[in-house]
Amino acid sequence: MDNNLLLEMKQIDKHFTGVHALDQVDFAVRKGEIHALMGENGAGKSTLVKVLTGLYGKDSGQIIFDGEERSFPTPQDSQNAGISTIYQEINLIPHLSVAENIFIGREPKNVFGIDWKAVRSQARQLLLDNGIDIDVTQDLATYSTAIQQMVAITRAISQNAKLLIMDEPTSSLAEDEIQVMFEKMRELVAKGMSIIFISHKLDEVYTICDRATILKDGKLVGSYDIDKISRLEMVSKMIGRDASNVLKRSVGEYEAKEGTAALLHTKDIDNRVKLHGISIDIRPGEIVGVAGLLGAGKTEFAKVVFGCDNTYTGEIEVEGKPIRMNTPKGAIDLGFAYCSEDRKVEGIFPHMSVKENMTITALSRISKFGVVDTRKQKEIVDKYIDSIRIKTPSPDQLICNLSGGNQQKVLLGRWLSMDPKLIILDEPTRGIDVGAKAEIEALIKQFSENGISVLYISSELEELIRNCYRVVVIRDGMNSGELTGEDITEANIMNYIAKNMKETEEAHG
Ligand SMILES: Nc1ncnc2c1ncn2[C@@H]1O[C@H](COP(=O)(O)OP(=O)(O)OP(=O)(O)O)[C@@H](O)[C@H]1O
Ligand SMILES: [Mg+2]
């Protein structure tokens, strides 16, 4: 065996009912490298990782780790052998404290048993090293997804493993948190550790990785040195067709809708916690982007508009009529749809099928006397499985058996199929592969052409620039600026994001 290799997986095969998830896959990771595992939603990335760590058994194939042929019957075995994993689904325990989560199964001990004082102080120090200053005695569940993700990363990094596996670790992190994580990763590989990194963000892969292995439909496409494969080639290999259209960057065309009356008018929305006066108007058919840092109040604003937070003060008018948004039900009755950021928690019924998950909000529309019109239901489901390319063996598959990205597409299909007047999309392309991203963006454009308004919340500035007619920038729960047409550029958005920062600094300085 090549002594430069830490891991060699040979001819790995894995079936699920109706799905050949891994088809004779070869995969090798060198010592001290960061190796990207790439592929569309459902390509088999997470499955390959789970077969390696012993979460799934393999049908056949060979795993050579650190010079020996190994098999890991359970995740504990792979962890003992020096493999530390951050799964796509954060797999910590919400109702234990942050400190317990970091040390569970390997708590520092003293003569009396577990040394709780050490657990707390060491956990606190490890988090501080990663730029996170929080109370480690609180339950993990009390913190945001981003913090939970940083805790998972901290736990994994602190295990001093030989191989660290990160399955979409950055999906809910803000830019500065990602930078901290990248620094950590560079430190770890400098010490000889190897990292497997899964991400749909090409920028990240090109920033941090040395090599990449691409999977498509459970098969190996190939392994490449990052500096020898262009982005266009990489995406073309992932989607199996020419990618020049997918990566084409068009500036969001600005349509003069200034004269039209607003569908939704909001003024001085304040909830005393995160929102301190936000005003946004959306006209019929307009795509309005909302930009701002993590914690600026983007999601909180969406929740007010959708009736999830009735503590607000301020004005809301819908089609010229003053309205009090009290409940999501009320919002749905007004023709609003909300595809939330935290789809895992708020949206999925794991033990129901793809079909049921997708049409649950449309049921009243497609039922008569309480009986679902299955033909209409099938029409809707087929349409979205096709148009946003949901990879599932059948509409009757349980949603929990789909890959992470495909679960999200089902939920997006749910809201798209409602025929709403206004659709609020909170990070709609998070975790979604490049090909499907382009298709979702095209669908959104199509909505707007049909008169549907879109409130598009995203932390990916490029997406806002590509898709929005107007972008509202918010900061600290307040409007910070608004851009239209040609003026929607990364520099201008960043300027508004930073503007108030300077003012505050000056005020405080
Ligand atoms: N427990 C399971 N039962 C049945 N099918 C499964 C199961 N886990 C995964 N699959 C199927 O195996 C295939 C590969 O899924 P996998 O989760 O590995 O994709 P992925 O590349 O990680 O995608 P994503 O980018 O969306 O996370 C998919 O078709 C998925 O539906
Ligand atoms: Mg996955």
- Residues with Cβ < 8 Å from 148, sequence gap 6 or more? 90, 92, 140
In the CATH hierarchy, which fold is given to the domain comprising 252-335+421-509? Rossmann fold (3.40.50)
Per-residue pLDDT of the chain (509 residues; tens, 9 = 90+): 567 999 999 999 999 988 999 999 999 999 999 999 999 999 999 999 999 999 999 999 999 999 999 999 998 899 889 999 888 776 788 889 999 999 987 888 888 888 999 999 999 999 998 888 899 999 988 887 778 888 888 888 888 789 999 998 877 777 777 888 898 889 889 989 999 999 988 889 999 999 999 999 999 999 999 999 998 888 889 888 776 665 544 444 445 456 678 999 999 999 988 899 999 999 998 999 999 887 788 999 999 999 999 999 999 999 999 999 999 889 988 999 988 776 555 677 888 999 999 988 777 777 777 788 888 889 999 998 988 889 999 999 999 899 888 888 888 888 888 888 999 998 888 888 888 888 888 888 888 888 889 999 998 888 899 889 899 999 889 999 999 988 898 889 988 887 745 554 444 43
**CB of 446 within 8 A of CB of 285?**
no
d(CA 107, CA 105): 6
398 CA distance to ligand 1 middle (Å):
12
Hey, do 5-239 and 252-335+421-509 end up sharing a CATH topology, with the first three levels equal? yes
Give the phi and the psi of residue 286 in degrees, each rounded to 5. -90, 145
Nearest CA to ligand 1 atom 18: 44
Q: Find the 18 Cα to ligand 1 centroid distance in Å.
A: 12
Domain 5-239's class? alpha beta
How far, in Å, from the CA of 434 to the mean position of ligand 2?
Answer: 14
Question: Atom 5 (ligand 1): residue with closest C-alpha?
Answer: 401
Residue of 86, 220, 391, 402 best suited for mutating to test ligand 1, as the one with most atoms within 8 Å of CB: 402
Strand partners, 470: 288, 484
**Which has the closest alpha carbon to 202: 10, 387, 36, 370?**
36
Which strand (E) or helix (H) includes residue 265? strand 264-270
For the question of whether the overall pTM of this predicted structure is more than 0.85, the answer is no
Question: In angstroms, how far is CA 189 from the centroid of its own chain?
Answer: 25
**CA distances from residue 438 to 149, 244, 246, 429 in whole angstroms, order as listed:** 27, 12, 6, 9
| Domain layout of the chain by residue ranges | 5-239, 252-335+421-509, 352-419
